[in-house]
Structure 1
Amino acid sequence: MRVFISHAWEDKPLALALAALPDFVDVWVDVRELLGGQTLDPTIVRAIEDSHVFIVLVSRTSLAKAWVAKEVEWALAREAQKDRVFILPVLIEPGIDLRTCAPPFTPFAQRLFIDASDTSEPGLAKSRAAIGLTLFHWASDWLEAMEPRGDSNHRFAEALEADLAEYQTRLFAVKAALAWPLPTLVQDDAVAHLVKVKDEYNAFTERFMPRLTDADGEIRQRFGVSAQRGFARLVTFIRNEVFHGAAFALNDVIESINAYDTVLRQDPAALAAAEARRSERVAALEPVMAELVERTADYLDTLR
């Protein structure tokens, strides 16, 4: 579990002391992760987005820091995207009433928080234990909600890979069936094969395209917003450039086949024009499919 700890610079020693959490927790504290020359804003944003939990250390000092407030605002936006609890407030100073805090800290009065105001060694140990236990319970709840049957992210990625591979296979079959000249394509055996592979492609895409939409939210929940954004780009390419683009254009070849006996056979010029369009449509699909294969492989590598 990746955890981001937001804190005021003056509270950094306490942040580092509280960061000694159980082994299942990977803590991000800026003094440990930031390298010289990095731009601060994008680095912090990426760290928050890549975290499973955002812990904010609440003190009178941190409540007055514009930078901490900005991090909390980013975290609240991230929480809304995830549609689950993401922020864990940890009070490190006694006497703070969260109900009187100004935005963006105001919502914390209505949620679970950890009291870590006892900064003695026994107090810190107790606070670390409370934080670790809370994170453990949250992780258990998420696993139960996401994987009630014990399904793993690995199995999810494998199923997605299988769907994407089958889509490519079905489309390759249609393309191969249309690679012959029109006089050959209108032969009975060629027509029968084309009808078969086209019906299989259509039947698969009727299930496959809605599944892509359904997978978007699950990918965000399982793998985070970065993986979800990458998936959204891949799906946009599949829909616009492949399914509704180069693959859809192949219907022009089907129309030519249907018009062969009634029109094209008696009109050499029309037949030549239709054959040129067939060759053009099939050739146009080639680079699109090559890009589909490359984009799919790159994205699946990201999930792995």
Structure 2
Amino acid sequence: MRVFISHAWEDKPLALSLSQLPDFIDAWVDVRELLGGERLDPTIITAIEDSHVFIVLISRISLAKVWVAQEVNWAMEREAQKDRVFVLPVVIEAGIDLTTSAPPFQQFAQRLFIDASDRSEAGIAKARALIAGTLFHWASDWLDRMEPRGDSNRRFADTLERDLVEFQTRLFAVKAALAWPLPTLVQDEAVAHLIQVKDAYNTFTERFIPHLGDLDADIRWRFGVAAQRGFMRLTTFIRNEVYHGAAFALNDAIESINAFETVLSKDPPALAAAESRRQARVAALEPVMAELVERTADYVDTLRP
């Protein structure tokens, strides 16, 4: 579990002490001092985004720090996006009344927080235990929700692979149906087969292509930022190079079939040009499909342990 610990520079010794948590927790404590006018830099934002939990150490000093408030605001936005608990406040100084604190800290008065105001060795050890126990409880809840049988991520990867392979299979069927010369493609049996495979492809892609966008956040939650970025590259290729690219270009061949009886059969030069375009469209799809198969296999492998 990756944990980001937000704190004032003056509280760093305590932050480092509290970060000594059990091995299942990887705590990230920034060692730099930020100046009052600085904005959150990309390193901080990335560290927060890559964390499973955001811990903020609340003291009178941190309540007055602009960048701590910025980090909290960013973390609360992430919590809303995740639709689960993400921020754990830890009060490290006695006598702080969160109900009268300035935003964004005031909201913590109405939620779980850890009292780590006892700075004695025993008090710090107790606070570490409370933090670790809380995080373990959260992690258990997430596993129960996301993986009630312990295999949700595997089943997710299997489902994604099945959909990607089905997309390839249906597109291969359309490509194969268009592999014959136009005079053959206009025969009744060929037309009926083309309509069948084309309709099956269209029905599947009407659900599949929009669904790819819905998976982005789920992949980030399940597998992390690197997997999400890889998925974005794969889906960009599918949309631009395959669906809206080489696959869409096959419509030119279908239009030639529709125009065969009324136009092309009576105009040999036009028929020859249309046949040349059909061959080119089908040939252009071949390397794109080969790359799609390779990209799909490589990406799905990254999701499996």
Short-chain TM bin: 0.7 to 0.9
Tell me, yes or no, if structure 1 residue 238 matches structure 2 residue 238: yes
Alpha-carbon deviation of 1:150? 3.4
What is aligned with 1:171?
Answer: 171
Q: For the residues of structure 1 that align with 2:104 and 2:66, how far apart are their CA atoms?
A: 10
Contact 1:54 1:86 in 2 (8 A): yes
3-state DSSP class of the match of 2:41?
helix
What is aligned with 2:222?
Answer: 222
What is aligned with 1:115?
Answer: 115
Gapped regions of structure 2 (runs ≥ 5): 33-39
Q: For the residues of structure 2 that align with 1:70 and 1:302, how far apart are their CA atoms?
A: 34
Alpha-carbon deviation of 1:121? 1.6
What is aligned with 2:36?
Answer: none
Q: For the residues of structure 1 that align with 2:222 and 2:55, how far apart are their CA atoms?
A: 20
Alpha-carbon deviation of 1:42? 1.6
Tell me, yes or no, if structure 1 residue 280 matches structure 2 residue 280: yes
3-state DSSP class of the match of 1:31?
coil
3-state DSSP class of the match of 1:3?
strand
Q: How many percent of aligned residue pairs carry the same amino acid?
A: 79
Contact 2:146 2:152 in 1 (8 A): no
What is aligned with 1:37?
Answer: none
Which deviations, in whole Å up to 9, do the C-alpha atoms of 1:25-70 show, x marking residues without a partner? 11111239xxxxxxx8222111110100000111112122222222
What residue identity is the alignment partner of 2:45?
V
Q: TM-score, normalised by structure 1?
A: 0.84
What residue identity is the alignment partner of 1:131?
I
Q: Structure 1 residues 148 and 104 mapped into 2: Cα distance closer, same or farther (>3 Å)?
A: same
Which deviations, in whole Å up to 9, do the C-alpha atoms of 1:87-136 show, x marking residues without a partner? 10001111111122222222222211000111212111211111111111
Q: For the residues of structure 2 that align with 1:194 and 1:200, how far apart are their CA atoms?
A: 10
What residue identity is the alignment partner of 2:158?
E
Contact 1:92 1:118 in 2 (8 A): yes
Gapped regions of structure 1 (runs ≥ 5): 33-39
CA RMSD, 1 decimal:
2.8
Contact 2:55 2:88 in 1 (8 A): yes
What is aligned with 2:16?
Answer: 16
Q: Structure 1 residues 194 and 208 mapped into 2: Cα distance closer, same or farther (>3 Å)?
A: same
Alpha-carbon deviation of 1:236? 4.6
Q: TM-score, normalised by structure 2?
A: 0.84
Matches within 5 A, 1:113-192: 113-187=113-187, 190-191=190-191
Q: For the residues of structure 2 that align with 1:49 and 1:20, how far apart are their CA atoms?
A: 21
What residue identity is the alignment partner of 1:181?
P
Aligned residues: 297
What is aligned with 2:4?
Answer: 4
Q: Structure 1 residues 290 and 67 mapped into 2: Cα distance closer, same or farther (>3 Å)?
A: farther
What is aligned with 1:88?
Answer: 88
